[in-house]
């Protein structure tokens, strides 16, 4: 796995670009990663990890999906992925309403094609959407590993919860899924995650 | 130009994604756009403005270039585009040194192919690089227009200086260049830019 190790080290390294402040003004306060940065990170992950997509995957469509998948959060905000089910349902409705408002800002034919890409990502039925979703789940795991538990520690997330995400990663990319599984094992060893409960 | 107007309104609207704060931790202080956000914005611009690239342009390569073009700023930092020539020369050397350090974190064949993409962007010789560079110049202009002068006002930038950037945009995309020229005229009318001096 040395090759993949190198690729993931690169992806962790480039996280530092998020601290380079430019001249262009922006209306936003204090920190934590934001969704634009996250989306950019996923686009670069798609480029770097392309060989982990199933053969025949259209990488251009994956990149397009990841750069637009979170646009709906402009209206709906970001919900923590381990939030409770009723909150998830409210969020899904708010995101659909946001998509209904945002994409029609574009000229009609393009609004429909970008909305279709967003729907495709949400439905997770195509190889491209599954791979894009795998990247979306892998990125916070990587960051948590390099920040001594990160959001897992802050929110008391358990290994059981993380392993349900690993299954989604495996579905989009068996090799990235296998890698994620070894990360969870290492996180348990290092005490960053409580071990899964016995069934 | 109504269609393009709509597309640019969309691009201005999605700037707001940069204020959506996620759970994933990051080590960075106060505000202004950062380079990760900027890079993401360009990727989405490439998607939305694809039809303004010359026929035959490989949009996948444009997106790849824009997501990685600023990685070198991790080491070299960001230099304001209107900085003086000696600073620009120092910056170019620092960016090459950064590329020499960063890309080799990747496995050798991939390091070379991503470095080649970065060189291609810098050299601005291909249609893809020229279009990518046009987006890179257009994005701050758009933001300055929606922030009452933004960095132009803050740094006393003149219309002459901005028009040299417009020429670069025209070189990558005649239609986007024409649009940028009307934006500069409007910025002069609104007093956001001093009119060009007579030769």
pLDDT at A30 over 60: no
Given pLDDT bands bounded at 50, 70 and 90, which one contains residue A142?
confident
The shortest C-alpha distance from A110 to chain B (Å) reads 8
Q: Which residues contact A184 (CB under 8 A, 6 or more apart)?
A: A141, A159, A162, A163, A166, A193
At A146-169, the pLDDT tens digits run 777 777 887 888 899 899 999 999
Instruction: List the one residue out of B70, B109, B97, B67 whose CA is nearest residue A63.
Output: B67
pLDDT at B88 over 50: yes
At B123-143, the pLDDT tens digits run 999 999 999 999 999 888 887
Residue-level pLDDT at A18: 53
Give the whole-angstrom CA distance, residue B169 versus residue B78.
20
Residue B34's φ and ψ, nearest 5 degrees, are -110, 175
Residue-level pLDDT at B131: 96
Residues of chain B with C-beta less than 8 angstroms from the C-beta of A154: 23
Residue-level pLDDT at A11: 52
Inter-chain touch A140–B3, beta carbons under 8 Å: no
The angle at the Cα of B32, spanning B187 to B116, to the nearest 5 degrees, equals 90
Judging by beta carbons within 10 Å of its beta carbon (0-12, 13-18, 19+), is residue A182 exposed, middle or buried? Answer: exposed
pLDDT at A111 over 90: no
Give the whole-angstrom CA distance, residue B58 versus residue B51.
11
At B25-50, the pLDDT tens digits run 433 344 577 788 888 889 988 988 89
CA–centroid distance for A64 within its chain? 14
Inter-chain touch A22–B44, beta carbons under 8 Å: no
Given pLDDT bands bounded at 50, 70 and 90, which one contains residue B150?
confident
Question: Which chain B residue's Cα is nearest to A48?
Answer: B110
Which of A27, A28, A105 lies closest to B13 in CB terms?
A: A105
Question: Which chain B residue's Cα is nearest to A7?
Answer: B106
The shortest C-alpha distance from A53 to chain B (Å) reads 16
Residues of chain A with C-beta less than 8 angstroms from the C-beta of B36: 17-18, 20, 36-37, 40-41
At A84-100, the pLDDT tens digits run 889 889 999 999 999 99
Q: Does the complex come out with an ipTM higher than 0.95?
A: no
Residues of chain B with C-beta less than 8 angstroms from the C-beta of A140: 23-24
For chains A and B, CB pairs below 8 A equal 230
Q: Which two tokens stand for residue A103?
A: 């994409």
Secondary structure of residue B196 in the 3-state scheme: coil
Given pLDDT bands bounded at 50, 70 and 90, which one contains residue B117?
very high
Inter-chain touch A68–B44, beta carbons under 8 Å: yes
Question: Which chain A residue's Cα is nearest to B139?
Answer: A24
Give the whole-angstrom CA distance, residue B164 versus residue A174.
49
The answer to whether the CB of A34 falls within 8 A of the CB of A28 is yes
Average pLDDT over residues A27-40: 68
The answer to whether the CB of B165 falls within 8 A of the CB of B141 is yes
Q: Any idea of the CA torsion for B157, B66, B110, B126, to the nearest 10 degrees? A: -90
Lowest mean pLDDT among A173-177, B14-18, B160-164: B14-18
Give the whole-angstrom CA distance, residue B30 versus residue A25.
12
Inter-chain touch A28–B31, beta carbons under 8 Å: yes
Give the whole-angstrom CA distance, residue B141 versus residue B38.
12
Q: Is the pTM of this model over 0.90?
A: no
B52 or A105, which is more confident? B52
Give the whole-angstrom CA distance, residue A177 versus residue A131.
11
CA neighbours closer than 13 Å in the CB half-sphere of residue A139: 30
Residue-level pLDDT at B27: 34
Inter-chain touch A38–B27, beta carbons under 8 Å: no
Residue-level pLDDT at B10: 55
pLDDT at B109 over 60: yes
Question: Which chain B residue's Cα is nearest to A117?
Answer: B47
The shortest C-alpha distance from B90 to chain A (Å) reads 18
For chain B, how many residues are written?
199
Inter-chain touch B78–A23, beta carbons under 8 Å: yes
Residue-level pLDDT at A22: 47
pLDDT at A17 over 70: no
Instruction: List the one residue out of B145, B142, B130, B150 whose CA is nearest residue B8.
Output: B142
**Mean of pLDDT over chain B:** 82
pLDDT at A140 over 90: no
User: Which of A7, A32, A37, A110 is best to mutate for the B interface (most B CBs within 10 A)?
Assistant: A37
At CB < 8 A and 24+ separation, what contacts does B163-171 make? Answer: B163/B196, B165/B81, B165/B137, B165/B141, B166/B137, B168/B133, B168/B134, B168/B137, B169/B134, B169/B137, B169/B138, B170/B134, B171/B130, B171/B134
The answer to whether the CB of B50 falls within 8 A of the CB of A60 is no
The answer to whether the CB of A100 falls within 8 A of the CB of A143 is no
Residue-level pLDDT at A6: 57
pLDDT at B59 over 90: yes
Question: Which chain A residue's Cα is nearest to B19?
Answer: A28
Which of B16, B43, B140 lies closest to A74 in CB terms?
A: B16
Q: Which two tokens stand for residue A148?
A: 């001594």
Question: Which chain A residue's Cα is nearest to B81?
Answer: A23
The shortest C-alpha distance from B197 to chain A (Å) reads 25
pLDDT at A82 over 70: yes
The shortest C-alpha distance from B125 to chain A (Å) reads 22
Average pLDDT over residues A135-143: 86
At B5-32, the pLDDT tens digits run 555 555 545 554 555 544 444 333 445 7
Q: Which residues contact A122 (CB under 8 A, 6 or more apart)?
A: A95, A129
Inter-chain touch B31–A35, beta carbons under 8 Å: no
């Amino acid at each position: 796995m040395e090759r993949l190790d190198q690729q993931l080290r690169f992806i962790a390294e480039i996280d530092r670009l998020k601290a380079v402040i430019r001249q262009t003004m922006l209306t936003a306060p204090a920190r934590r990663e934001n969704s634009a940065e996250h989306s950019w990170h996923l686009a670069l992950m798609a480029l770097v990890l392309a060989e982990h997509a199933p053969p025949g995957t259209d990488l251009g469509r994956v990149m397009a999906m990841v750069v637009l998948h979170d646009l709906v959060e402009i209206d709906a905000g970001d919900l923590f992925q381990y939030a409770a089910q009723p909150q998830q349902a409210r969020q899904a409705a708010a995101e659909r309403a946001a998509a209904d408002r945002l994409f029609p800002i574009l000229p009609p034919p393009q609004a429909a094609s970008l909305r279709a890409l967003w729907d495709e990502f949400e439905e997770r039925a195509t190889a491209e959407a599954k791979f894009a979703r795998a990247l979306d789940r892998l990125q916070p795991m990587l960051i948590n590993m390099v920040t001594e538990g990160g959001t897992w520690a802050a929110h008391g997330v358990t290994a059981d919860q993380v392993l349900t995400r690993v299954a989604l990663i495996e579905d989009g990319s068996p090799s990235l899924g296998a890698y994620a599984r070894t990360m969870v094992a290492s996180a348990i060893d290092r005490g960053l995650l409580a071990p899964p409960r016995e069934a």
